[in-house]
Chain A
Amino acid sequence: MKTNQEKFKSLVSKEKTNTAQKNKDRIKNRMRLRESQDIAMKVLDKLDELGWSQKRLADEMEVSPQQITKIVSGKANLTLESIVKIQTILEIPILVSHLEKQLNDFFEKLIGSFSEKYIPAETSAPADYTSSDKKEIKMSYDKETDDYSFESNYNLGA
């Protein structure tokens, strides 16, 4: 008499699947997939924020809607070209270099506005560092006017 398992085996199709291989591939490519998934989340967040459809993004990126479907599924193995396009069009940081550039721009802007506001124009001339006197710059903050002022005992310029 056939056992339960034998009866079951006779029901199993001879058809082969690649499930095992796909499972192994997912494990092997995990780090890349996680990156793709993070990008997909950023893209979808931004599309919601902008009120854009995936079709609109496809048009802006000049790619097929199918490519966008793959990107937002978090399964795409993105090329550098696609990543740059996404971060430029959607203005979202993906590459570290993009983030570095944003940080540099931010600090340059910050320093620029600080210099304009607090360093006198004549400081463009070289400072006098030859004096042996102790050099001091005092910064004070006026709560009332919400402003900073500087006092110095050495020549900041000619």
Chain B
Amino acid sequence: MKIVDIFAEEYPGHLHAFMYIKYDTNEYDRLMELWTDVDYLRTFAKKNKVENINQFVKQRLRDAENIQDLIDELLQESQPLEHYFRPLHDQETGIKILSRQKGKTSSKDGLRLYAIKIDTNCFVITGGAIKMSQTMDGHEGTREELKKINKAKDYLKENDVFDEDSFFEFNLENEL
């Protein structure tokens, strides 16, 4: 896997994403392709026994638009990406090294981008999922993402992007 600076042309050094071997695109692009794909969302809704399929599809399509708008707006206006990303666990406070984060545009947002915070206004996206349960353990999609974010963190640590003395994280794996 490798890491790419996804908005490098205009705003270098702020938003990055992992590119995994099995996909030929970075995680942000891959997820945006899926989250704007009506057939994919509909199949997902059916598989998950969603009652009102078209309403679900429309909501996720609007959620994806909100992510596109917010990220574009934050980068254009030089606003910190912390307006979108926040710690994976709400209880996490203070400065953490390689803190695991979730992207959320609003309380109604049904899509989650997951990232690791490298520094102030510097993040690397590890993946993302459609939120289907309160906790990450509650759905296969988010369970998989939890594994991915942990693996990504290990990868960064293996490559010395880690300061053990100042690293601390609550051991709460379950909150979305």
Chain A interface residues toward B at CB < 8 A? 3-5, 7-9, 11-13, 15-17, 19-24, 26-27, 30, 33-34, 37, 40-41, 44-45, 69, 72-75
Name the one of A3, A30, A45, A75 contacting B54, with C-beta atoms under 8 angstroms: A45
Alpha-carbon gap, A45 to B163, bound state (A): 53
| Chain A CB within 8 A of B50 CB | no
Name the one of A9, A20, A27 contacting B10, with C-beta atoms under 8 angstroms: A20
| B119 touching A5, Cβ below 8 Å | yes
| Chain A CB within 8 A of B5 CB | yes
Instruction: Provide the main secondary structure of the chain A interface.
Output: helix
Name the one of A11, A19, A20, A45 contacting B159, with C-beta atoms under 8 angstroms: A11
Name the one of A13, A22, A30, A74 contacting B2, with C-beta atoms under 8 angstroms: A13
| B16 touching A40, Cβ below 8 Å | no
Alpha-carbon gap, A18 to B42, bound state (A): 27
Across the interface, which residues of A come within 8 angstroms of B163, CB to CB?
4
Given contacts A7-B160, A41-B38, could you give 18 more A-B pairs where the C-beta distance is less than 8 Å?
A4-B118, A4-B161, A5-B119, A7-B159, A11-B156, A12-B3, A13-B3, A15-B2, A16-B9, A19-B28, A27-B69, A34-B61, A41-B42, A45-B54, A73-B37, A73-B40, A74-B36, A74-B38
Alpha-carbon gap, A99 to B122, bound state (A): 51
Across the interface, which residues of B come within 8 angstroms of A19, CB to CB?
6-7, 17, 26, 28-29
Alpha-carbon gap, A7 to B28, bound state (A): 22
Across the interface, which residues of B come within 8 angstroms of A44, CB to CB?
38-39, 42
| Chain A CB within 8 A of B79 CB | no
Alpha-carbon gap, A12 to B3, bound state (A): 5
| Chain A CB within 8 A of B132 CB | no
Alpha-carbon gap, A123 to B161, bound state (A): 92
Instruction: Provide the main secondary structure of the chain B interface.
Output: mixed
Within 114-141 of B, Cβ neighbours of A (below 8 Å) are at 118-119, 122, 124
| A75 touching B26, Cβ below 8 Å | no
Known A23-B72, A24-B72: A7·B161 in contact at CB below 8 Å: yes
Known A9-B13, A19-B26: A30·B65 in contact at CB below 8 Å: yes
Residue of B nearest to A21 (CB): B9
Known A5-B122, A7-B161, A30-B65: A40·B29 in contact at CB below 8 Å: no
| Chain A CB within 8 A of B146 CB | no
Known A17-B29, A19-B29, A24-B72: A8·B8 in contact at CB below 8 Å: no
| A8 touching B72, Cβ below 8 Å | no
Across the interface, which residues of B come within 8 angstroms of A16, CB to CB?
8-9
